[in-house]
Amino acid sequence: MNVNFVKRAGLSLAARRVKSLIMLGLFLVIFTLVLAGFLLQSATGQSAAHTKARVGADVTLDWDVEKAMAKSNGGFPKMSDADALTTDRADALGRSPLVRDYNYSLESASPPPAGVTLLESAAKPPEGLSMATTVGGAATTAGPADMNTLSVSGQRDVRLTDEFAKGRHAVIDGRAIGPADDGKNVVMVEERLAAKNKLTVGGKLTLKSPDGKNPIEFEIVGVYRDPTAPQADMWMPPGMVPGNKVYAPVGAVARLNPSEQVGGRTKVQVAKYTLKDPGKFEQFKKAAGAAGVDLGVFKLDNNDRLYRDLVGPIQSIASFAGVAVWLVSIAGAAILGLIVAMAIKERRQELGILLSLGERKWKLVGQHLVEVTAVAVLALGFSVLVGTALSQYAGDALLGREVAAAKDKEADQGTVAGGGKVMMARSIGSADPGPVKPIDKISVSLEAAEVGRVAGVGVGIALLATLLPGLAILKLNPRTILMKGE
């Protein structure tokens, strides 16, 4: 096949340097923006997928209070012993092949052990609410003695609690309590409480039930650090002061509280499962039913809020990038189409001459296509050079704005909630993990797939921008172009 039109295209581009450079610039802008859009989409997609794999797998099994209230017809909701979530049920579900790890918890409280002084709230108690924080279990001044307690958190595996898993708490001496401690009376104490009372690993601590009965001696196996400072402007009962919390195995906490046992089995309040595959939530629900968990009484919450909080800003960026890609592509095709249409009009004489020599019309369209494509290929090369850096810059800038907006929103919600999150009692806390730091960095990296997608868009734009105006070439009549009328 005679491809002389390719040579003509090269000559034409070289001869019309200024116009070629303008087209190159236009293509460069379009491709850089489209590439940036694709790169941002890809980076945010990868980040979201990574986050989903990291946090989206957490499923919390908890008592469904709403359903219970509906069943109680306005009365106080109560769970029957038959329906209770027990360790054997929770363990049965934990053995499912869908589960990577799991934890469950049982919260309790104990009067301060003998000789132990609890940490005090930074703020003074409200008028008329005074109590002693030292005393071997009893209040020495007026005030609710039952608030003068040490928080006792029963955990199957302390390392899987949000506090330890996310690094807010850390073991600084001894070890963490784990599944192997089931049946043992062991405890972990906080660094400040330990320092204040000279408690060390290997020491003993006698805990009781919340009503001061059933004393059991626990061995201290670990000291952990909670960097949370007491709130300076709000008084808290001792049980909620950071540091006044000990961790113990669930079974041991149940032994302190015989009411938490049903038929020799230990009740737990909430369980958290980490799935191997976040996409198998529905299968996990079926497995829960098979393990004897009544989903009419309990609810399974996929850890969606955490995921949404984390990826919210980057999803906004991905959405923006997607819209930008479409807008730029459409606008680019339209602008280039108009430029090519104008070029065809300008070059009617040239087209007429070539037609008079017997050149085929498709080759004339082909010449324009080659010219546009050659410029597009060059622009694609340049856009690859600048696109990655621009995408990273744009991504960081856009994400920074989104994260700031997310923080503002979080702050607004925090104000409305009145610090409710701080008051959370359940340490397993996956259903409402509290404020989380959204993803504020994305890593943009150029891969062949993105370049291929931009090349695809470029070919599409070049075809649209050339072939549609090129239809005019098919209508050209060399006589009307070249001959002077009589």
Partner 1 sequence: MAPILELDGVSHAFQGPRKKVWVLKNVSFAFEPGTFYTILGPSGSGKTTMLSLASGLDSPVDGRVLYRGEDVRGMGLAKYRNRHVATIFQSYNLLTYMSAVRNVTTAMEITGVKGGRKRAMELLERLGLDEEEAKAPVLELSGGQQQRVAIARALACDVDILFADEPTGNLDGDTAQEMVEVFRELAHEQGTCVIVVTHSQEVARQSDQVLTLTKGKIARRGK
Please, which residues have CB within 8 angstroms of residue 264's CB and are 6 or more apart in sequence?
A: none
Please, which residues have CB within 8 angstroms of residue 235's CB and are 6 or more apart in sequence?
A: 121, 123, 124, 125, 126, 129
**Smallest gap, in angstroms, from Cβ of residue 351 to partner 1?**
10
- Element (DSSP H or E) covering residue 336: helix 304-346
Span interacting with partner 1, options 4-12, 99-107, 161-169, 400-408, rule CB under 8 A: 4-12
User: Phi/psi at 366 (nearest 5 deg)?
Assistant: -60, -40
Is residue 359 part of the contact set for partner 1 (CB under 8 A)? Answer: yes
**Smallest gap, in angstroms, from Cβ of residue 25 to partner 1?**
20
Site string for partner 1, 275-304 (x = CB under 8 A): ------------------------------
Is residue 98 part of the contact set for partner 1 (CB under 8 A)? Answer: no
**Smallest gap, in angstroms, from Cβ of residue 338 to partner 1?**
22
**Smallest gap, in angstroms, from Cβ of residue 365 to partner 1?**
14
Is residue 11 part of the contact set for partner 1 (CB under 8 A)? Answer: yes
Is residue 426 part of the contact set for partner 1 (CB under 8 A)? Answer: no
**Smallest gap, in angstroms, from Cβ of residue 408 to partner 1?**
59
Applying CB under 8 A, the site for partner 1 has a residue count of 28
Q: Which of 358, 416, 418, 475 binds partner 1 (CB under 8 A)?
A: 358
Distance CA 106, CA 113 (A): 19
Span interacting with partner 1, options 65-73, 435-443, 447-455, 476-484, rule CB under 8 A: 476-484
Is residue 478 part of the contact set for partner 1 (CB under 8 A)? Answer: yes
Nearer to partner 1, 3 or 449 (CB): 3
CB distance 82 to 249 below 8 Å: no
Please, which residues have CB within 8 angstroms of residue 408's CB and are 6 or more apart in sequence?
A: none
Pairing of strands 216-225, 58-63: unpaired
Nearer to partner 1, 348 or 407 (CB): 348
Is residue 200 part of the contact set for partner 1 (CB under 8 A)? Answer: no
Is residue 7 part of the contact set for partner 1 (CB under 8 A)? Answer: yes
Q: Which of 202, 227, 264, 485 binds partner 1 (CB under 8 A)?
A: 485
Is residue 342 part of the contact set for partner 1 (CB under 8 A)? Answer: no
Alpha helix positions (H), 198-303: 250-256, 281-290
CB distance 62 to 460 below 8 Å: no
Nearer to partner 1, 158 or 364 (CB): 364
User: Token pair for residue 277?
Assistant: 């595959």
Is residue 484 part of the contact set for partner 1 (CB under 8 A)? Answer: yes
Nearer to partner 1, 362 or 393 (CB): 362
**Smallest gap, in angstroms, from Cβ of residue 10 to partner 1?**
11
User: 249 forms bridges with which residues in the sheet?
Assistant: 155
Q: Which of 262, 341, 390, 482 binds partner 1 (CB under 8 A)?
A: 482
Span interacting with partner 1, options 8-16, 32-40, 166-174, 409-417, rule CB under 8 A: 8-16
Is residue 355 part of the contact set for partner 1 (CB under 8 A)? Answer: yes
Q: Which of 71, 213, 360, 441 binds partner 1 (CB under 8 A)?
A: 360
Distance CA 167, CA 89 (A): 29
Query: If phi over 0 gives left and psi between -120 and 50 gives alpha, with beta otherwise, what is residue 339?
Result: alpha
**Smallest gap, in angstroms, from Cβ of residue 24 to partner 1?**
17
Long-range contact pairs involving 412-419 (C-beta distance under 8 Å, separation at least 24):
419/234
**Smallest gap, in angstroms, from Cβ of residue 13 to partner 1?**
10
Long-range contact pairs involving 405-413 (C-beta distance under 8 Å, separation at least 24):
405/313, 406/309, 406/312, 406/313, 406/438, 407/438, 410/435
- Element (DSSP H or E) covering residue 342: helix 304-346
The Cβ-side half-sphere exposure at 178, using a 13 Å CA radius, reads 7
Is residue 1 part of the contact set for partner 1 (CB under 8 A)? Answer: no
Is residue 401 part of the contact set for partner 1 (CB under 8 A)? Answer: no
**Smallest gap, in angstroms, from Cβ of residue 371 to partner 1?**
12
Alpha helix positions (H), 56-146: 65-71, 87-94
Span interacting with partner 1, options 77-85, 281-289, 304-312, 471-479, rule CB under 8 A: 471-479
Distance CA 14, CA 97 (A): 66
State whether residue 125 is helix, strand or coil: coil
Distances in Å between the Cα of 118 and the Cα atoms of 209, 224, 293, 464 are: 17, 16, 38, 76
Buried b (16+ CB within 10 A) or exposed e, 98-117: bbebbbbbbbbbbbbbeebe
Nearer to partner 1, 10 or 312 (CB): 10
Q: Which of 91, 146, 294, 350 binds partner 1 (CB under 8 A)?
A: 350
Question: Which residues of this chain interact with partner 1, rule CB under 8 A?
Answer: 2, 4, 7-8, 11-12, 15-16, 349-350, 352-361, 477-479, 482-486
